[in-house]
Structure 1
């Protein structure tokens, strides 16, 4: 076992495993909701990604396990090297110690991120907010709420997106922590250890209704598949939309769910209808942009950076001052 942990072959093997896992983490988007993988990849591949935890590669047990073994391997090598050198009166390669300590720092930083960091994904329509992130099958709760105040898209003449920007406001209860901060492609926002990346965007079709029910007036905006509860066992759901997917919907097929069988009707024209004693006003459709944000927390980043700097200094010192030898009187 001692030879296993002091072997350079073990180090190389573990580094290769980590390199392969990091490549997978780069090629496969991290922290997306489960349905996104099922939509983007063939069924077998999507299920493998979810089953093996590749959707959150830096937190899966095999990545953390490989990092832990590498930390043990480098630490044992470091102690063993100090012990061997201490038996000699000759060289004292300080740079070698720095390299080993730097590598240990890099690995420990990676473990910190793997154990206490995360990467998730949120989708926000203009004017909406949330404090919940999704990462594959997992969910994380932020210590504050994220609101999308505004979303802008610029296009090239050929119709391809040139730039898209989210204006975010962060709140904790009634307190505003950050107001209308910009997040655009390649220009992330960092706040209290959390980093927000502009990842994607899309359009959301909705139909608007004004509902008069038992003396109350409600204004609701619903998308396809969304169901709104009216209380007392009544719900209104939008099952289909009329119109092209990229345009404002011209109507909808709505269903009223109650104690009896569901009642469905097509709503095409703006105006008033009465269903089950409820007055329903169709007020037309709308098309809203939504923004897709990737959110990450990396508590080990500074430790990895410090370890990298220490490793670089150690390597430079080994190159510039390769060895110091004892003189005849035993002094170097």
Structure 2
């Protein structure tokens, strides 16, 4: 009874393993993971709960998913959600089982030399032929010599031989599966152990990055921020000239970061992500130059910055100074939204409500995205293994067996790539050996 139960459990486990390692299951998992990743790209990740409720309750995602549903389905942190991690783990198990059940046995079988001794055994191979052989065993000697010259490993025997080439190609699928697993492990480690910080930094300002112990690990200073614009005035590229100073070094390291050209330093990656306007320098009447911070006004547009200042000593008659670019001009609005004038950057003063106002300068700010991802080395390693395995998988593994039986040379072979070309090549190999062996 116990033996029967053990057999039943073993059979069930084998069936489950066979289903998990099925190629169709792996393809479905890959498609599900790709679709989920696309959703994670479309929906902002890691924002406060109120962000999703306010944004998606009024305008549901795809017209269906509201804020609370989105939170319940963990779409706000999709890459660390339980169901996404389950998909990754399932795919990793499927790849591992496929490697253990199929690829590893295929590699071990390829390492073994098979000794076919009868012509009828060769006739059952994917490619087989028989030709007249007046040269006898000399044809085998010539065949072995030709194969050796062309990079084949040859194992001769009495009246027969075996040869193979491209066995390294059998390692490719194992490396592909292993690379994918390492890649996914690195991605999971990065999702849980990574850190992300977004900051706007004005020229001349610094930012200290602390380690987990609260100590300064890296000080980042912005020397210069530049915005390249096209003839119409649209931004084309942003670049920041930085100085990086380690906690254990007194000499700063100069670096430049721009869109699509991040920099990496001691496990930290710095991206040029955005831009903003930090402050403007004004002169009100005969006052000294005043550098005043700007704030965003979403109700006026996506990229509108400004500040409200009074035009009278008692704080009355406030006006709004608003800008859309660092090039200006700044628009000045009264409390009733009436446009009072335009202030050119670096130009002459304009009298607004009886007060001369001069816009001296606009200080732009660099939007920097700073990420620490401990999984990056594993991700890169997995990607390298994946590329290596993919390249090796393209190498055709070929095997040939030949037997001399009387006045006949029987030859057969197997090939896992381009079998048609191999079928055309094999008779030519055999005829060349017979012809040279007869000389």
- Mapped partners of 2:78, 2:367: distance in 1: 20
Q: Secondary structure at the match of 1:127?
A: coil
5 Å matches for 1:132-171?
143-171=217-245
Q: Are 1:2 and 2:17 counterparts?
A: yes
Q: Secondary structure at the match of 2:380?
A: helix
TM-score (norm 1): 0.62
Q: Secondary structure at the match of 1:12?
A: helix
5 Å matches for 1:274-313?
287-313=362-388
Aligned-residue offset at 1:40: 8.3
- Mapped partners of 1:34, 1:145: distance in 2: 31
Aligned-residue offset at 1:161: 1.7
Q: Secondary structure at the match of 1:199?
A: strand
CA RMSD after TM alignment: 4.8
5 Å matches for 1:167-316?
167-172=241-246, 178-205=252-279, 221-223=292-294, 240-241=308-309, 242-246=319-323, 287-316=362-391
| Alignment coverage as a number of residue pairs | 278
- Specify whether residues 40 and 121 from structure 1 end up closer, same or farther in structure 2 by C-alpha distance, changes over 3 A only: farther
Compare 303-312 and 160-169 and name the one that shifted more.
303-312
Compare 113-122 and 149-158 and name the one that shifted more.
113-122
- Mapped partners of 2:21, 2:331: distance in 1: 67
- Mapped partners of 1:19, 1:306: distance in 2: 21
Q: Secondary structure at the match of 1:320?
A: coil
Q: Deviations 1:121-145 (Å, cap 9, x if unpaired)?
A: 2222233333479xxxxxx998423
- Mapped partners of 1:84, 1:305: distance in 2: 28
Structure 2 unaligned regions, length at least 5: 1-15, 115-166, 284-289, 297-305, 310-318, 324-328, 336-352, 404-413, 415-439
Q: Tell me which protein shows more helix as a share of its residues.
A: 2
Aligned-residue offset at 1:249: 9.2
- Specify whether residues 310 and 165 from structure 1 end up closer, same or farther in structure 2 by C-alpha distance, changes over 3 A only: closer
Aligned-residue offset at 1:315: 3.7
Q: Are 1:77 and 2:98 counterparts?
A: yes
TM-score (norm 2): 0.49
- Mapped partners of 1:35, 1:132: distance in 2: 27
Q: Tell me which protein shows more strand as a share of its residues.
A: 1
CA contact (8 A) 1:74 1:100 kept: yes
Q: Secondary structure at the match of 1:14?
A: helix
Q: Are 1:20 and 2:35 counterparts?
A: yes
CA contact (8 A) 2:280 2:360 kept: yes
Compare 88-97 and 20-29 and name the one that shifted more.
88-97
Structure 1 unaligned regions, length at least 5: 134-139, 210-218, 226-237, 254-267, 271-282
- Specify whether residues 103 and 317 from structure 1 end up closer, same or farther in structure 2 by C-alpha distance, changes over 3 A only: same
